[in-house]
Structure 1
Amino acid sequence: MPVLKTAIRLVAEHRVLFAVYVLLFSVVGSFAAGSVGPASASYEAARPVVAVIDRDDSALSRALTDHLARASDMVDVADSTRALQEAAAKNYADYVLVIPEGYGEALVAAARADADAPDLECVVSYLSANGSLMNERVHGYVQELYAMAAASPSASADELIARVDAAQETGVAVETVDTASPGLPVTYLVYCQFALYALFGGIAAIVGVGLADLRSPEVRQRIGAAPVASTAFDAQIAGAIAVCGIAVWAINAAVGVALYAGELARVPVALTALMLVILFALMLVGMAFGFLIWQIGVRRELVHAIANISAMIISFLAGTWVPLANMSEEVLAVARFAPGAWAVSAMEQLVRATGVTGELVASVLGHVGIVVLFALAIAAAGLAVGRARRAIA
């Protein structure tokens, strides 16, 4: 099998790419996982820095200010355009709320007339999510005031505030339940999410660059000396790509298991095995994409750019950089047409699980099957491109 041996030798000559795309991104994934930090047995609520500019000075606006003060550290910001701009630019506060004049009366009137509530103005810091969380807290409190005002047409402002505050103090009962065995650690989940980049972009780059030499005149002449059918040629190329892909998957999986051996030792082996199956499916997608790049005949100089840009897009749509829960419906709709989102969804199921059940296995393997279908579709496109190029030649 001269083509297979030649292809494997060409890929092996680019061993530096294995170090860059596999080991380097394994280290990056471990650093990202380390930033998650260990699980804490206690909970301490964060206290964001908040400023309120009350132009209304009504009972409702003062109640809203008091509500924020109970969950945050209050600071003063002057009521001027320059002060608001500086508060946003220099991050004086995570959240600045501006209550317009007449807001309290307008809110009650809107509730009793079944109209839209008046708007509040706010400045939310871009450096953390604390400001956004405080904004949700404000909207929740205002919605309760609106509902109380609509349900009690004769109630005064003080009565409305007292009822909302009483409802706020009710709270929700929380109970901690110990499980027989812990689930996969979140740190291992983060590592596996970042492995997506190596398994997709890394394999594609290694294959695209390594097999590019197969198109050089010298190598083509050598292969042509021993005629090989197109089907056998494609099969041997696929074999060389499979060797490359399995090597990348094995290295990445071994590094992950070694880094988190202590935590994984307490987890059912089947959960770890299912995680490795998900990574294997992602490896198949990377192999197929590398095969497509090679069949298209992309120049060596462009392979890295295509592989890295594609890997960044797939990783973003998988929620590696930003959780999918924080994305818009439009982005989520696009993510469903990318393999990364299905793989990461299956990973998250494993992390939430504390034991192996038939339902869990079926769900995870269902997601894996969808990822494999992506790989088959991309590989089929590569075969079609290859046959079209041969027909033209």
Structure 2
Amino acid sequence: MRTFKATLKILLAQRLMILIYVVWLCLMMFGLSWSLISDLSKMDNSTTFDSARPEVAVVNRDAHGAGLDEPMRAFLERDCDLVDVGTTDEQLQTAAASNYADLIVIIPDGYTDRLADAIGRDARMPQLDVVVSFTGAYGSLARLQVDEFLRLTRTAALAAAHDASVSAAALADAADRVVDTLADASDAYPRIAVADDPGAAGDRHEAARTAYVQTVKMGVYPLLAAMLVCTALTMNAFAGANVRRRLYASPQRTGTMVIQEFAGCALFGIVVSLLYWGISLALPALAGLPIDGIPLPTILYSGVSLALYALVSVASGFMISMLSVNAVAINAIANVYGLLVMFTSGMAFPIDMMPKVMITIGKLLPGWWFCQSIDAVDGVDGRVDLGGWLSCNGLVLLFGVAFICLGLAFSKGRRSHPVLAAPGTTQLAEV
């Protein structure tokens, strides 16, 4: 029991490695997951429709006309936002170049008289000067409304005319009547009704489930790297020549001490995996997604998968520690091995996009089967494949057993050829 307590003290003394590999790596993965969760939480499930309102400017240069600009503005303001761009050529050029308005309508000088004369003679109607925005279609849609205003004005003017001629004043009166008539007609501007989406709540639940499953699968890299480094460095503390001489001289069996060392690291790994599991469950809730959308079996079985994967990661660290490599080599092995597992596990890339060689390599590593165990209980359509989950986790545990066996083999070889000679010079004890 003393070895177990000593292991925990040595492990917790590795503050820098815990900060880098446990805290920082997990936070990095949580940050990546949060971007996905934020996009899922912004899914539009509203039951109202707000149409886009183009920005329109009406410039009147018909100084002697009867005034079509005010009725036109009143007609357009129901569906458009009216803006002021000025009246000079410089101001209009600036507005057009800066794309300040979606549509600029310029009523040229004498336009009202020419329009009245064309209506009276049943000739082609004169055109307004318009500038349509080059960045979208809103300006073109607003131009259709301008053409509709002119068409309704022409119809109203002809209906009120007693003879074939139409004066400019009569045309202005017809434009005012068009605006007044549409204002009094309740069905002139019908509102678009959006029916309630019966699947809106289900979409939110599905988003919560997807966010949780993806976050749990992202633990394939930080858990492996963190547990490998922390375990290897901790158990290396018992591998120094001075420490080993004392341990070999003690009445306690070496195997018992190794088991206690492994148990201390395993306890730390389970605690970290449970913390990761809890944060993975909390992130969708923080984003406003309903936690009840995640099936309870998915939550429980994925938590067990995380704990088992953490134990296998501890076993890999145990194996590395038995090689008696230094801290630099341990960090290098952890990063190279962890990245290899992450990129071949199916978490970083969709499996359909992965080449066959990556899939083959992934199946030879524990990360692939960890992700497969999560997919087996991901709860899609309420499906939980318990058999698939058990088989995948069984393979993950087999990797852990293989790592432990290799570590024990390395340890036996080291004990068979001990280096118990005292150093040539006195060495200061490391605290």
TM-score range with shorter-chain normalisation?
A: 0.5 to 0.7
Contact conserved, 1:289 with 1:378, CA < 8 A, in 2? Answer: yes
1:310 aligns with one of 332, 337, 342: 337
- Structure 2 runs not aligned, ≥5 long: 46-197, 419-431
Letter in 2 for 1:273: L
1:329 corresponding residue in structure 2? 356
Q: For 1:30-65, what per-residue CA distance to the aligned partner results, in whole angstroms no more than 9, with x for missing partners?
A: 2212232216358xxxxxxxxxxxxxxxxxxxxxxx
Which range moves more in the overlay, 217-226 or 238-247? 217-226
Is 1:284 matched up with 2:311?
yes
SS in 2 for 1:260: helix
Residue pair 2:294, 2:379 contacting (<8 A) in 1 also: no
Counterpart of 1:204?
228
The Cα shift of 1:225 comes to 4.9
Q: Call closer, same or farther: CA 1:256–1:176 in 2, change over 3 Å.
A: closer
State how far apart, in whole Å, the 2-side matches of 1:15 and 1:246 are: 18
| Distance in structure 1 (CA, Å) of the matches to 2:387 and 2:354 | 27
Work out the CA distance in 2 between the residues paired with 1:266 and 1:221.
57
CA distance in 2, matches of 1:180, 1:312: 33
Q: Residue 265 of structure 2: which of 208, 233, 241 is its match?
A: 241
The question of whether the paired residues in 2 share the 8 Å contact of 1:207 and 1:244 is answered with no
Please name the residue that 2:168 is paired with.
none
Larger Rg: 2
* 1:279-309 deviation per Cα after TM superposition (whole angstroms, max 9, x unaligned): 1121122011000011111112211111111
* Contact 2:377-2:386 within 8 A present in 1 as well: no
Inter-CA distance 317–179: structure 2 relative to 1 (3 Å threshold)? same
Which TM-score applies when normalising by structure 1?
Answer: 0.60
Letter in 1 for 2:15: R
How many Å separate the matches in 2 of 1:207 and 1:30?
23
Deviation at 1:352?
5.0
Change (3 A) 1:180 1:365: farther
1:353 to 355, 367, 380: 380
| 2:377 counterpart of 1:375 | no
- The CA distance in 2 between the partners of 1:268 and 1:189, in whole Å, is 11
Per-residue Cα deviation, 1:348-392 (whole angstroms, up to 9, x for no partner): 3333523255xx122212211111111111111111111121112
Any idea what SS the aligned residue of 2:413 has?
A: helix
Segments of 5+ residues of structure 1 without an aligned counterpart are 43-174
Q: State the 1:224 CA deviation.
A: 4.2
Report the CA distance between 1:201 and its aligned residue: 1.0
2:391 counterpart of 1:366: yes
Cα deviations by residue, 1:250-302 (Å, 9 ceiling, x for unpaired): 22222222323454333222211111112112112201100001111111221
- Does the C-alpha gap of structure 1 residues 364 and 263 become closer, same or farther in structure 2, counting only changes over 3 Å? farther
Give the whole-Å Cα distance in 2 for the aligned partners of 1:16 and 1:387: 31
State the percentage of identical aligned residues: 21
Provide the C-alpha distance between the structure 2 equivalents of 1:328 and 1:18, rounded to a whole number of angstroms: 35
Pairwise CA RMSD: 2.6
- Which residue of 257, 275, 280 maps to 1:256? 280
2:21 match: secondary structure:
helix
- Whether the 8 Å contact between 2:376 and 2:386 is mirrored in structure 1 is no
Determine if contact 1:203/1:286 at 8 Å carries over to the other structure: yes
CA distance in 2, matches of 1:6, 1:176: 56
With a CA cutoff of 8 Å and minimum separation of 6, indicate the structure with the bigger relative contact order: 1
Q: What is the aligned partner in structure 2 of residue 144 from structure 1?
A: none
Q: Aligned partners of 1:325 and 1:176: how far apart in 2?
A: 28
Bigger shift: residues 202-211 or 347-356: 347-356
In the TM superposition, 1:208-223 aligns within 5 A as 208-223=232-247
- Who is 1:157 aligned against? none
Aligned ranges for residues 67-78 of structure 1 at < 5 Å? none
Which secondary structure does the structure 2 equivalent of 1:296 belong to? coil
Classify 1:232/1:310 alpha carbon distance in 2 versus 1 (closer, same or farther; 3 Å).
same
**Residues 35 and 181 of structure 1, relative CA distance in 2, 3 Å threshold:** closer
Residue of 323, 326, 332 corresponding to 1:299:
326
Partners of 1:355 and 1:308 in 2: CA distance: 36
Secondary structure (helix, strand or coil) at the match of 1:297 reads: coil
Q: How far apart, CA to CA, are the structure 2 residues paired with 1:325 and 1:187?
A: 20
Q: How far off its partner does 1:221 sit? A: 4.4
> 1:391: which partner in 2?
416
2:293 is paired with a residue whose SS is coil
Paired residue total: 259
Q: Deviations over 1:217-250 (max 9, x none)?
A: 4433443453321321221122122122112212
CA distance in 1, matches of 2:244, 2:322: 14
Cα offset, 1:315, TM superposition = 0.6
Deviates more, 1:364-373 or 1:343-352: 343-352
Q: Distance in 2 between matches of 1:332 and 1:325?
A: 10
Give 1:364's aligned amino acid: W
Q: Return closer, same or farther for 1:375/1:354 CA change in 2, 3 Å cut-off.
A: same
SS at match of 1:214: coil
More displaced 10-residue stretch of structure 1: 333-342 or 186-195: 186-195
Q: In the alignment, what sits opposite 1:38? A: 40
Runs of 4+ in structure 1 deviating by more than 6 angstroms, as ranges, are 175-181
Aligned in 2, Cα 1:263/1:344: closer, same or farther, shift over 3 Å? farther
Quote the offset at 1:177 in angstroms: 11
Counterpart CA distance in 2 for 1:190 and 1:267 is: 12
Q: Give the distance between the partners of 1:198 and 1:241, measured in 2 at CA.
A: 16
Matched residue, 1:18 = 18
1:193 aligns with 2:227: no
